[in-house]
Chains A and B, each alone.
Chain A
């Protein structure tokens, strides 16, 4: 891959001073939660390593992952796309279109077989032979399998690629299937979220380029550095949760005071993501800070966990508006009623028996 410029070459060519470059390296180290000792390591990697070719595919999705990605502040998405990686194919971002684009796709696969990273946004629908998602005149699932064959690793961008998201919500008519259930022989990093946080996306890529390995993953295959804790664990409203101070209605006094949104159905306690630490839009805010509960968008099957505004999940198997408490009260009530009737009958039978014996 000697014909690909190093990151440093590209950055210098773009008129970036060495001073700015070093600043960029320290910011990247900080964003990854690494100590100052890693700054020279990052700088060295950037100076010596050729840029990694990346193929970015779009399946059944809404492009919100791309929208998020291009808003990354640390590192800037422009730096990632233009300087860090060699984004050889991304049908929504590239200048080429039609046959020229498809030619670039094939060329990258051939030229860098076994060395490129495949980033997948969205997922393939499998019903009707994949006909629900056609790109470049072919079902997307074929394109995905083709690109995955020579990939070094796969990044599943967003809830779609990681878990299926809205198109896979019950009853999932197109049988939209997350990437790891279609491609089973490659290392896959899940970066869930709808969309994922911009800095998480660029952070994962930067880590992979810098250290030339996959970040440490948790049990579900997500980078542990961003997904090992729940929103709830680092939420700035957590003291109100422990105190028992909750928002009871939207726009009540407690909502104005910024109390805990637990009772309003906030999914922070069940959602693994970095929103409460990294936040969004250059660290400006995140949903809870804006007064709305977390909807749990980075969790598996989050569309099928009932309303965004209920603490207890509705369980469809027991009827449309039933949750665990309603089911439980009904069951306990039915059993309690049965016990009362049984006790009454028992008493009657006993009296009857005594009469017979007397």
Chain B
């Protein structure tokens, strides 16, 4: 088979996909379409695993973190020595934070050894002029000023900048401030204190550090709202798959137009 006819079928559509035709719901148009539609393997298994573990950890962290700042009503289950409600809430927060930390470092490792899509979250191509014009295009799409979006294999330019600021920088900020707060309880000279105690030295007042960490949580919550909405909306309205891509790893496309 020569290169020129690589995209054309050797057989007519009604001769192939026999199983699809058997059910009776596949039109000739459908058959032509599934012959041409292909997928790109974008998110490798470690990236997908990280995404869902990270999402779960962040959910636990937001709920427990909020409750640490504004505790549940005082409760009298038993004597204090036999009751550990606030202790368990804090334990869940710290445990989820440690999972998040390990996951984040694992994700950074995967940026080096994984495919090139795994690197996209960690940088913005600021010197690429085309990137900025494409970012502007995507913004116009979100402001209903473009009739049709473009196709993207990895993140679109707008998603890339959001991921960079909220996940790469945002999670880093939460990890640094969070571990600095944890170091206070772990005590001076402990490993967390040796690694992150300097943060309190810069911020000076622990109350201030708590407030910064708390504001960071709301930044992440705002990101979650936008992220989930955008993923579902793009799944419906864009030209490629979204939600299922983070489950299977494959990005599928809805049309074969070149732009």
Contacts and interface: CB of A to CB of B under 8 A. Distances in A.
A233 B70 CA distance: 20
A127 to B, nearest CB: 22
A255 to B, nearest CB: 11
A259 B251 CA distance: 56
Classify chain A's interface size.
Answer: 35 or more
Classify chain B's interface size.
Answer: 35 or more
Contacts of A218: 188
Nearest to B232: A343
A313 B209 CA distance: 11
B205 A270 contact: yes
Name the residue in A229, A230, A243, A296 with the highest tally of chain B Cβ atoms < 10 Å from its Cβ.
Answer: A243
A332 B225 CA distance: 8
B68 to A, nearest CB: 10
Contacts of A270: 205-207, 209-210
A305 B218 contact: no
A313 B211 contact: yes
Contacts of B209: 270
A254 B75 CA distance: 10
A1 B80 CA distance: 58
A242 B214 CA distance: 20
Interface stretch (B10-18, B33-41, B193-201): B193-201
A219 B80 contact: no
Contact of A296 (B71, B207, B226): B207
Interface string A206-249: 00000000000011100010001110010000011111111110
Given A219-B201, A339-B229, A244 B85 contact: yes
A190 to B, nearest CB: 11
Contact of B222 (A228, A248, A300, A335): A335
Interface of B: 66, 69-76, 80-81, 83-87, 89-90, 142, 144, 147, 184-185, 187-188, 197-198, 200-201, 204-211, 214-215, 217-218, 221-222, 225-226, 229, 233, 236-237
5 contacts: A219-B198, A244-B84, A299-B204, A324-B69, A324-B215
